[in-house]
């Protein structure tokens, strides 16, 4: 099993072009929802058709919903892809790092089902993926930051994962109204934090993850309050001494 962390300059689609020249393919993997308070973490794996890096394929975070949906239509028509979903209970039990790796591996297995061309490489956005316990242990895995901007395969995966998860969160919003899930998609916005404090957790919240996060928020606020109080007291002493 070979996992390579790429740290140098990577030319756009260099992995794809190298594979296509040899008449093989690359699998790009990305995830959405790691830092959320509610809902699953969703990963996607996408195999682009040979010699087709489409201009629509870019980082899903900088695309509008309409652009993502249009790109997803193209991906469904032209690409082989798979999705891996790990729900909030597993995130609380295993932690978000391990849950994300499970989702990525699920997505990869689905994408490689009945694929005729064996991939020459797997590329991921920063997250290493250990495949030593699978039939694909001999395929090198390359992980590097800002993968969506350096690989159209990773960009396509980010789009599939984002569109899939956003649709799920909109459905969850109807099941558990009051948390703004259709808008915040489960992320810890000020409104979402306020709703949790007022309503408590819903059945899709990552309770252990959120509790630790909010506790850190409270600890930071207490430290700031203490510093402000100490500053005010020091100011009062100086005033009295004058």
Edge-to-edge strands, sheet with 41-47: 3-5, 141-144, 121-125, 26-32, 41-47, 80-86
pLDDT number for residue 164: 98
- Which pLDDT band holds residue 232 (cuts at 50, 70, 90)? very low
All structural domains of the chain with their residue ranges: 3-175
Please say whether the structural domain 3-175 has been given the CATH code 3.30.420.10: yes
- Read off the pTM: 0.87
67-90 confidence digits (pLDDT tens)? 999 999 999 999 999 999 999 999
Lowest mean pLDDT among 79-88, 110-119, 167-176: 110-119
pLDDT digits (tens, 9 = 90+) for 199-221: 999 999 999 888 887 877 554 44
Q: State which of 5-14, 77-86, 108-117, 126-135 shows the largest mean pLDDT.
A: 77-86
Q: How confident is the model at residue 66 (pLDDT cuts 50, 70, 90)?
A: very high
pLDDT at 235: 44
Which whole number is the average pLDDT over 162-180? 97
The mean-pLDDT minimum among 54-58, 208-212, 230-234 falls in 230-234
What mean pLDDT comes out for the span 143-155? 94
pLDDT for the residue numbered 217: 58
* Residue range 42-62: mean pLDDT, rounded: 91
The percentage of residues in the chain with a pLDDT greater than 70, rounded to a whole number, is 86
- Please give the pLDDT value at position 117: 85
pLDDT at 6: 65
């Amino acid at each position: 099993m070979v996992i390579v962390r790429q740290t140098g300059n990577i030319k756009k689609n260099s992995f794809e072009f190298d594979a296509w020249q040899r008449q093989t393919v690359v699998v790009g993997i990305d995830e959405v929802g790691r830092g959320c308070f509610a809902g699953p973490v969703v990963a996607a794996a996408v195999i682009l058709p040979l010699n087709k890096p489409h201009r629509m394929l870019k980082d899903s975070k900088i695309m509008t919903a309409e652009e993502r949906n249009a790109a997803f239509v193209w991906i469904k028509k032209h690409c082989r892809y798979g999705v891996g979903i790990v729900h909030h209970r597993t995130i609380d039990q295993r932690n978000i790092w391990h849950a994300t790796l499970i989702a990525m591996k699920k997505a990869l297995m689905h994408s490689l089902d009945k694929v005729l061309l064996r991939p020459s490489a797997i590329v991921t956005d920063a997250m290493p993926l250990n495949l030593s316990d699978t039939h694909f242990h001999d395929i090198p895995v390359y992980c590097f930051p800002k993968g969506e901007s350096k690989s159209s395969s990773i960009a396509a995966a980010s789009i599939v994962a984002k569109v899939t998860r956003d649709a799920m969160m909109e459905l969850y919003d109807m099941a558990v109204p009051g948390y703004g899930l259709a808008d915040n998609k489960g992320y810890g916005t000020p409104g979402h934090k306020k709703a949790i404090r007022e309503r408590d957790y819903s059945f899709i919240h990552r309770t252990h993850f959120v509790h630790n996060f909010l506790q850190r928020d409270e600890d930071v606020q207490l430290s700031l309050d203490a510093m402000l109080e100490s500053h005010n007291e020091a100011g009062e002493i100086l005033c009295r001494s004058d």
